[in-house]
Amino acid sequence: MAGSAPEDCVYIDLSGASSGIGEATAIKLAEHGATLFLVALEEDKLQIVQQKCKEKGLVEEKIGYCSGDLSQSAFREEIVKNLIQKFGRLDILADIAGSVLFANVCETKEEDYDRFVRVNQKAKFFLAQLCLPYLKQPKGLTRSSRCKSECYQMADKFANLAHLKRAGTPADVVSLLLFLASDEASYITGSINYIDGGYHLYP
């Protein structure tokens, strides 16, 4: 399928799957018929996204989910185990999960900092490690994508700094993720793709 993720690929959408960029990506991939395995912290919100994907035509056999805390190693192992049991393969890992910590140096608590590192660094590394043996099996190319987003309170500030003078939306990010998941991006690797409305044009 030109310009989209192939229909026979399995897509993991992590903690962000229940809202924002993760939710928008899951729904768009469902429209293209990709097989989805959704992951998020809150099961009730995840079930809502799963239902939205089904409303886009995705059948029960092509979607699964797992809810829990991505910062816990046992849950990361559970993700991969359940995914392989259900689908038997993994073609794409889209780790959209992220945690934001807003506090100055004097007020930052050690437990908050530790969780920030566990979610944004440690969890990503070791989840990729668990998935790598299965990602290598299809003999395809691997593309890494890191989606950086800020809290809604800062949206107006960044909108004013962007050359396009508006805040970005999840839909703005989804198009790039869909492209990177397609065969058309087979020669793209190790690059940084900015989706910032021209923010980096300014010194």
Q: What gap in Å lies between CA 157 and CA 161, rounded to an integer?
A: 7
pLDDT tens readout for residues 36-84: 999 999 999 999 999 999 999 999 999 999 999 999 999 999 999 999 9
Q: Are 53 and 40 in contact (CB under 8 A)?
A: no
pLDDT tens readout for residues 161-182: 656 666 677 888 888 888 888 8
For the chain, the distance separating the N- and C-terminal CA atoms, rounded to the nearest angstrom, is 40
The per-residue pLDDT for 111 is: 93
Residue 148 per-residue DSSP state: -
- Phi and psi torsions of 93, nearest 5°: -110, 115
Overall fold of domain 10-201? Rossmann fold (3.40.50)
Q: What gap in Å lies between CA 53 and CA 26, rounded to an integer?
A: 7
Q: What gap in Å lies between CA 142 and CA 114, rounded to an integer?
A: 29
The per-residue pLDDT for 19 is: 83
- For the chain, the average pLDDT equals 81
By residue count, the chain amounts to: 203
Give yes or no for residue 138 having a pLDDT over 70.
no
Q: What gap in Å lies between CA 147 and CA 145, rounded to an integer?
A: 6
For the chain, the helix, strand and coil percentages under 3-state DSSP, each to the nearest 5 = 50, 10, 45
pLDDT bin (cut points 50, 70, 90) of residue 149 is very low
pLDDT bin (cut points 50, 70, 90) of residue 87 is very high
More confident residue, 151 or 111: 111
Domain positions in the chain: 10-201
Query: Collapsing DSSP states into helix, strand and coil, what is residue 35?
Result: strand
pLDDT tens readout for residues 112-137: 999 999 999 999 999 999 999 998 88
Q: How would DSSP label each residue in 62-117?
A: GEEEEES-TTSHHHHHHHHHHHHHHHS---EEE----------TTT--HHHHHHHH
Best CA proximity match to 14, nearest among 148, 129, 119: 119
The per-residue pLDDT for 55 is: 96
Query: Which pTM was predicted?
Result: 0.80
